[in-house]
Structure 1
Amino acid sequence: MVSEYLKQNTAEYHDAAEKLFNSEKIFNKTFTLEDYKKIIGTNYLMLLHSEDKIFNQLSDKFSEKLQLGDRKKLPLIERDLASLALESQSISHELDFTNENEALGAMYVIEGSTLGGNVIAKQLSKTEGFDDVTFNFFGCYHENTGPMWKNFKEVLDTEVAEENYAEVLSGAKKLYMFLLNVN
């Protein structure tokens, strides 16, 4: 199953992202509003430079099976940027996906961050200093987070042939590298 293959082969990138964003501070309640602004700003740049490219690479089959219209996150994180009074930034390097498999790999990273973001939003909503924060991006699927992740993984696992695993992994690595180097 490609979802397990991706999980195993991107673990080091996932861990690096958690370290970059000081994730351990979220659970010991020392995460600050500045830490949160950094994570939102970086995720905004990732979505700004990847979401449309990913969606444009996916065929109608995936658009329908993955309910892509319900997975748009850029408008949500733009609301978070505005509520935090953050300026939109630009980056110095481009991001491209050469085919549908790479786009699916990149989408794996974004959907995974949504799964983790739901946990982050719940934790931070109980942390001092986050009373007025709206978690538009991290709470985007609300109570449907689990079902949306499950749907994504099922579609990946049933639609991606084993000979395409390397391309899917390539897309995931591209997006992780972009995220880790955007600052």
Structure 2
Amino acid sequence: MPYESSSPPTPSVLNELRSGTRTLHVALEKRLPFFSDSLDLQRYTRLLAAYYGFYQAMENRLEHSTLIPPGFDLHARLKTRALVQDLRALNISPRSLSLCPALPQLGSEASVLGVLYVLEGATLGGNILRKQIAERLGLQAHDGCAFLYVYGEATGRYWKSFLDFLCAVPLDARARDEAVKAACSTFSCFEQWLERQEVLL
């Protein structure tokens, strides 16, 4: 861990991220069709294609950013390749898909952490969605559901290690505010993109 301190890490940044994004998080969850009676294989495929358009653009920006906090293994957390695997299994060419043009700004390490908080949290929630897709559509990781189970049985451990990392980074009040704003922007950009792709309820 690159950020070591003699005192226990404060969870304030986590609390601020949770409270600051709660409204946006709940609003988006209500509009996602994973638990809708209208969800069929065609709609699921369109949803994954929209996810790809956002994740490919967002992860590409992260990969080219010089603001990734020291010691954070970004490449172990990338999820676009799982989306590519799913889309190909569902006979969709990723090269034919549009990419999201409006993304949250990465102006500091704190803003990067805010974005990562949303992406990693979505991966944790994906484990629940994976079970729903398996029951409804009969898909597993090898034939269209790799993205929702990208960390496999290590999902909980990956989430905990991310939170440990997040809470160990020394962030002052201004930096915490930057993290929350970036997290909120991530939710907003993602929802607006999904809206444009007409995949939300």
Number of residues of Structure 1 aligned to a counterpart in Structure 2: 177
Q: What residue number does 1:73 align with?
A: 79
Verify the 8 A CA contact 2:54 2:99 in the aligned structure 1.
no
Counterpart CA distance in 1 for 2:34 and 2:110 is: 29
Residue number among 122, 147, 168 corresponding to 2:131 in the alignment: 122
Q: 1:54 to 1:129 in 2, by over 3 A?
A: same
Q: What residue number does 2:149 align with?
A: 139
Verify the 8 A CA contact 1:105 1:169 in the aligned structure 2.
yes
Counting aligned pairs with the same residue, the percent is 25
Residue number among 155, 172, 183 corresponding to 2:183 in the alignment: 172
Give the TM-score normalised by the residue count of structure 1. Answer: 0.84
Q: What residue number does 1:148 align with?
A: 158
Q: 1:162 to 1:92 in 2, by over 3 A?
A: closer
Task: Please say if 1:6 is aligned against 2:22.
Answer: no
Counterpart CA distance in 2 for 1:60 and 1:96 is: 16
SS in 2 for 1:125: helix
Structure 1, gaps ≥5 residues long: none
Counterpart CA distance in 1 for 2:25 and 2:129 is: 15
Task: Please say if 1:157 is aligned against 2:163.
Answer: no
Verify the 8 A CA contact 2:118 2:186 in the aligned structure 1.
yes
SS in 1 for 2:136: coil
- Which structure has the bigger radius of gyration? 2
Deviations 1:128-149, CA, capped at 9 Å, x for gaps:
4546843121111000000000
Verify the 8 A CA contact 1:57 1:99 in the aligned structure 2.
no
Q: What residue number does 1:99 align with?
A: 108
Verify the 8 A CA contact 2:86 2:145 in the aligned structure 1.
yes
Which range is displaced more, 39-48 or 131-140?
Answer: 131-140
Q: 1:158 to 1:92 in 2, by over 3 A?
A: closer
Verify the 8 A CA contact 2:105 2:111 in the aligned structure 1.
no
Q: What residue number does 2:8 align with?
A: none
Cα distance, 1:32 vs structure 2: 1.9
Q: 1:139 to 1:19 in 2, by over 3 A?
A: same
Counterpart CA distance in 2 for 1:93 and 1:69 is: 22
